Amino acid sequence: MSVSRRRFLQNSAGVAASLPAPAANDLIQLGVIGTGARSHELMAATLRLPEARITGVVDAYAGRVERALERVGKTARNYPSYRDLLADKSIDAVIIATPDHWHKQMVIEAMRAGKDVYCEKPLTFRSAEGMEIVRVAQETRRIVQVGSQGVSGETQRQARQLIRSGKLGRVTMIRAAYNRNSASGAWIYPIPPDASPRTVDWAMFLGSAPKRPFSLERFFRWRCYEDYSGGIATDLFVHLCTTIHFLMDAKAPQRVVAMGELYRWKESRDVPDTLNAILEYPEGFTVNLSSTFNNELSGQGSFQILGTEGSLLLGNGLTFEAETAVEDNRWIVESWPSRLEEAYWKDPKVRAAEMPALGRPQLKTTSQRFEAQGADSTEIHLAAWLSSIRTRKDPYENALTGHRAAACAHMVNLAVKQRRMVEWDFEKEDIRSA
């Protein structure tokens, strides 16, 4: 890495510390841009945090605004557009929970308007947008946190600690999956009965996306269309990759191959409902990512971190399973001449490794179970963002971290589309040109 680039990345983490922050006894005034279903979960979590208050909302569907004001209180203001909200100097920070194709533009404009930003994942719609956001964050000295909330939860923090302690031995394989088997799970959401050109601002929704005729399906099921979303990769794999990078202290995969198909949910959709990818990391491990919307395999094991001494299963809680494998070469040495077989078993090292029952009795922990209690990870993640706004210290999932996680999804999608291996350029922090 060049000296200038290294200095830039080092400086970007701490440069925001010199900016003024809200006083400890002042409420942080928040605006919410995009008030869809996930945004309502964020607003509900924010309302449980005493240090912030939602004072403004904006959305392209009037019904969502109506419900948002019901939720946060009539004192909050409905703005005609996100730019009107950003122009209000009383608002300190914004939550951006819009379709993906809007993220880069809104995040950058928010920072240039002096607002700190919480952006739902993925941070970017295209990989090339990531470093532009990182640079503007450094220039404006604004706090940016991306919303893959799992890394703030106690379960993933415990998993990270166990991996770092060496309890798993050497981790060389990770398997992670998101499986669903319903129309709703495949993003074929119900459409409000009052939705029409009168209640939906189609132009506000489209923005820079390709111009298309008014469509309620595209508006309310935007994750199903590549004009506005990267599908499974950007909606689900980004969560998985954010966790993997956090647990393994990794930056980005060096190589990615993937395949994806649309097998079942062919109406109101042009992104795959089944996706499989292999990601190779320079830190010395490989990741298998998979997702299908045609089968829901429940229970433990949807996230497996496999080490030489043990495994972690992330799902409903966290489970550690010790490896109990032992060497057993009996079937091999029994084919040797008897004199050589006898000599083999007389070797103390062989006896210790392959005949543990002859050794000294001992107790060994083979399984441990951890379950988080208290506030959920979304609430903790938002609280971490608000803390960063006050301290001016970057959160873990800052713009650079969010860019790298989103880039994994973009690499997967590009590998599917172009049917080739896709590589990451660590110097440029972007996908390597073909």
Listing DSSP states for 151-196 in one string gives GGSHHHHHHHHHHHTTTT-SEEEEEEEEE--STTTTT-----TT-S
The pLDDT value recorded for residue 355 is 73
How far is residue 275's CA from residue 183's CA, in Å, rounded to a whole number? 17
What spatial distance separates the first Cα and last Cα of the chain, rounded to whole Å?
21
How far is residue 206's CA from residue 349's CA, in Å, rounded to a whole number? 69
Please state the φ and ψ torsions of residue 281, each to the nearest 5 degrees.
Answer: -110, 140
DSSP-derived secondary structure for 22-37? --TTSPEEEEEE--SH
List of domains in the chain: 3-152+376-396 (3.40.50.720), 157-323+366-374+409-431 (3.30.360.10)
CB contact set of 209 (below 8 Å; sequence gap of 6+):
101, 227, 228
User: For the chain, what is the largest distance between any 2 Cα atoms, rounded to a whole number of angstroms?
Assistant: 91
DSSP 8-state assignment for residue 23: -
- The residue whose two tokens read 């209180």 is 73
Structure token pair of residue 342: 């006898």
The pLDDT value recorded for residue 399 is 98
Structure token pair of residue 387: 């803390």
Structure token pair of residue 381: 């993640």
| CB 310, CB 147: distance < 8 Å | no
Please state the φ and ψ torsions of residue 67, each to the nearest 5 degrees.
Answer: -70, -35
Q: Which residues are registered as beta bridge partners of 236?
A: none
| CB 409, CB 242: distance < 8 Å | no
The pLDDT value recorded for residue 26 is 87
The pLDDT value recorded for residue 284 is 97
Peptide bond into 361 cis (omega under 30): no
The pLDDT value recorded for residue 190 is 97
The pLDDT value recorded for residue 65 is 97
Structure token pair of residue 338: 């008897």
CB contact set of 310 (below 8 Å; sequence gap of 6+):
167, 168, 169, 320, 321, 322, 323
How far is residue 290's CA from residue 240's CA, in Å, rounded to a whole number? 10
| CB 133, CB 275: distance < 8 Å | no
Please state the φ and ψ torsions of residue 279, each to the nearest 5 degrees.
Answer: -120, 130
Chain mean position to CA 218: 24
How far is residue 278's CA from residue 291's CA, in Å, rounded to a whole number? 12
Q: Are strands 116-120 and 144-147 parallel, antiparallel or unpaired?
A: parallel
**What parts of the chain have a pLDDT lower than 70?**
1-25, 298-301, 356-365
Q: Which residues are registered as beta bridge partners of 388?
A: none
How far is residue 375's CA from residue 79's CA, in Å, rounded to a whole number? 31
